[in-house]
Amino acid sequence: MEMTDNGILDVCLIRKDESITINSDEQIEDIVKALSSETRRKILRYIQFQPADVSKIAADLEMTEANISAQIKKLEKAGLIKCEYSSGAHGVRKISKLKFEELCIKF
């Protein structure tokens, strides 16, 4: 059977007010790579219901802040989360929250 590149693979990112369809191979690879890490999936589950800062996520997941920060950068690059900065007791806090509520893959 001969393989052709005529098929389409889409990733849909959905939230209440917006839906985005991605069909760029590079963007799809970023999303799949981001989801391939157990640590990154734990972070996504952690912030699913409530945004949190790096320190809180690291403490509750019993990991270093440096590791959580690096993983958050990968999730942000993939477009799965968004980060906002807020003043905290000891400087600026980076608050992470989910960007979308649902992800689906269409063949």
Strand partners, 84: 95
Q: Considering the domain boundaries, does residue 15 fall inside one?
A: no
Count of domains in the chain?
1
Strand residues in the chain grouped as ranges (E):
10-15, 18-22, 52-53, 81-88, 91-98, 102-106
- pTM across the whole model: 0.84
pLDDT digits 0-9 by tens, 10-31: 899 999 888 999 988 999 999 9
- 75 phi and psi, to 5 degrees? -65, -40
In 3D space, the residue among 102, 52, 100, 49 whose CA is nearest the CA of residue 72 turns out to be: 52
**Which residue segment(s) compose the domain that 92 sits in?**
26-106
pLDDT of 47: 97
DSSP state of 67: H
With a cut of 70, which residues of the chain have pLDDT below it? 1-7
Q: Considering the domain boundaries, does residue 14 fall inside one?
A: no
Angle between helices 38-46 and 25-35 (to 10 degrees): 80
C-alpha to C-alpha distances, 32 to 26, 27, 60, 85, 99, nearest whole angstrom: 10, 9, 25, 26, 16
- Supply the CATH number for residue 102's domain: 1.10.10.10
Q: Considering the domain boundaries, does residue 65 fall inside one?
A: yes
pLDDT of 17: 87
Q: Considering the domain boundaries, does residue 92 fall inside one?
A: yes
Q: Considering the domain boundaries, does residue 77 fall inside one?
A: yes
Q: Considering the domain boundaries, does residue 8 fall inside one?
A: no
pLDDT of 87: 83
Q: Considering the domain boundaries, does residue 17 fall inside one?
A: no
pLDDT of 3: 40
